[in-house]
Each structure stands twice: as C-alpha cells, then as structure tokens.
Amino acid sequence: MSDPPVDPAILDENQCVAVDLPCQHCGYNLRTLALRGRCPECGTAVAESARDTRLCRADPRWVTTLADSALLLLTALSVGMFWLWLLGMLVLAFQQPGLDTACVMGPILLCALVAAAALIGLTAPEPRQARSARGPWARRIVRSLLVATVVLTVGPAIALDRTPTLAAWGWAAAGVIAVALVPGATLRHLGDLMRRVPRPDLARRCRICLWLLLGALLSYLIPVALIPINPRFPRLLFPLCGLPSVLALFALVALGFVTLLSIRHALAKAAHEASEYARERASGRRQGREAGCGRA
C-alpha cells in the first residue's frame, strides 16, 4: 500500500500548509511551507507531517491485527478474572478447597501468556511507520517491559538454588512490572491509538484508567514504604489508604473492561473502513491505469 493521502483541508491553492502544523519530528510550525518542501529545523519532509494518520487510512492488515489482539486481550483478562473470582468463592465456601498450586496457578499463567501475546499484537509496528505527533514511545515501552518481565521471571528461576534472595528480588521486580508498569504503558499506547481513530472520548477514558491505576498503587505503597520507618505506621495508615486503594482498583477493573470493549469495537470499525478504503484506492488506481493505457 502506498503512503496515505495528505489531508487537503490543511493546504491552500498553492499546495502550501495553510494551518498550524507541527513537524512530526521536531515540532517546528510548518505553516506557509510548501508540501514538497522539508522542515527547516530537522529536514523531515513536510508531507510526512501532513499525512492523514487516521487508522481508517492505515494498512488494513495492521489495523485488523490491532482489533484481533484487543479481542484476545479482552478474552484473556475476562477468563483470568473469572478464575480469580471462582477461587475466591471456593475458598470462602470450603475454607480449604483442596486445590494444589499447579491447579490454582496454571490457568492464571495461561491467561498471562495469552495476554502477553495479545499485547505483542497490539503493539505491532505500523508497516509504513507514520509517526504520530506524540511519537509511538508507549508502544516500544510495552514491548521492552514484556521482555523485562520474562527475563526477571526466568532468570531468577534458573539461579534460585545459588542466590535465593536475589531470585526473590527478581520476581518482586517482575511482579511490579507486570502488574503496574505494563498496564500503565498499555493504557498510554491505547490512548495514542484512540486519538488516531479518532475517538478522543476513549483516549480520555484510558487516561482516567491510568490515574486510577496510579492512585490504587500509591495508596497501597505508601503504608508499605513506611514499614522500615515505624512498623506501627502501616496499621494506622492501611484503613486510610487501603480503602481508597480497593475502591480505585474496583473502579479501574470496571472502567477498564468497558473501555477495552469499546476500544475493540472502534478498532474493528477502523479495520473495516481501512479495508474499504484500500480497495477503493486499488480500484481507482487500476481504472486510472486502464484509462492511461487507452489514451496511449
């Protein structure tokens, strides 16, 4: 597929930029510059910054991968949460439900692996990289954090016999990355994608989820961080911080689930529109070629 079209609404009759348009590389205002020219600050082609970056104009196979990955992530999270809820019910009903570790952890590990595969799909690089104005740093960070989680989970398991303390620290770090940093970076990345649908309302909801995640973590971590100072602090602070933490977590799960459902729907719609658009452009080009051949 060739480059996406330049939005004609931002050009004047001389094919110069008629609106405030930041260079995608350095942010320089490209207003009044010719579309064929280059940014005077960094040399990036003006046309690259003027491209239509909506997902419905992107490579349809890539947008379809995003939509399918969102569905996979939704499925993995739903099954994982259902399993946790079922475990909670079993413990409440039977006190000791007689489940061994493999039985408890197996489904959770499987859901985590499926969710990781879904995240790899959701952060797949765009075939013809259209750098959005904010830059796709969140996408790369999600991938780096996934690699770090795997290294910090597998590494300590190998070195467990020799350095058990170091292994425990490694697993703790992997846990923090998997529970806090990966969801945070993913929410940021999904917000970036939603701005390109464009669905600013969903981008805003991703930002709210990010704040809820931060709030839940901080209100949990503050009492824990105070243990070395005075062991009595957590007992005093947990009722104050613990309740907001639990409430923020519940709100995050509820809002996050509904938002991911809407994101999946928006991506599927964008994938359909991108396929239609690619087909129209292909048939338009074919007709153009056939007309050209007729004249020759």
CA atoms of 7 and 52, how far apart (whole Å):
6
CB of 188 to Zn ion, least distance (A): 24
- Give the nearer residue to Zn ion in terms of CB position, either 48 or 59: 48
CB of 183 to Zn ion, least distance (A): 33
CA atoms of 131 and 133, how far apart (whole Å):
6
Binding window for Zn ion (CB under 5 A); candidates: 39-47, 68-76, 84-92, 198-206: 39-47
CB of 49 to Zn ion, least distance (A): 8
Residue matched to tokens 């419905």? 56
- Give the nearer residue to Zn ion in terms of CB position, either 45 or 112: 45
Instruction: Tell me which DSSP letter residue 177 carries.
Output: I
Instruction: Tell me if 135 contacts Zn ion by CB under 5 A.
Output: no
Whose CA is closest to 222, among 209, 233, 207, 206? 233
CA atoms of 108 and 123, how far apart (whole Å):
22
Measured from the Cβ of residue 157, the count of other Cβ atoms closer than 10 Å reads: 11
Instruction: Tell me if 83 contacts Zn ion by CB under 5 A.
Output: no
Q: Which of 10, 21, 33, 39 binds Zn ion (CB under 5 A)?
A: 39
Which residues from 19-38 bind Zn ion, rule CB under 5 A? Answer: 23, 25-26, 28
Q: Which residues contact 266 (CB under 8 A, 6 or more apart)?
A: 194, 197, 199, 202
Whose CA is closest to 32, among 44, 45, 14? 14
CB of 7 to Zn ion, least distance (A): 18
Six-digit token pair at 153?
A: 């989970």
CB of 133 to Zn ion, least distance (A): 12
Which helix (H) or strand (E) segment holds residue 113: the answer is helix 101-122
CB of 31 to Zn ion, least distance (A): 13
Q: Which of 5, 31, 32, 41 binds Zn ion (CB under 5 A)?
A: 41
CB 174 within 8 A of CB 218: no
Binding window for Zn ion (CB under 5 A); candidates: 42-50, 127-135, 140-148, 160-168: 42-50
Q: Which of 12, 31, 42, 128 binds Zn ion (CB under 5 A)?
A: 42
CA atoms of 270 and 29, how far apart (whole Å):
29
The size of the interface with Zn ion (CB under 5 A), counted in residues, is: 8
Binding window for Zn ion (CB under 5 A); candidates: 17-25, 84-92, 206-214, 283-291: 17-25
Whose CA is closest to 266, among 182, 207, 185, 206? 206
Binding window for Zn ion (CB under 5 A); candidates: 41-49, 210-218, 225-233, 245-253: 41-49
CB 90 within 8 A of CB 41: no
Q: Which residues contact 186 (CB under 8 A, 6 or more apart)?
A: 119, 122, 138, 142
CB of 34 to Zn ion, least distance (A): 15
- Give the nearer residue to Zn ion in terms of CB position, either 44 or 262: 44
Residues that bind Zn ion (CB under 5 A): 23, 25-26, 28, 39, 41-42, 44
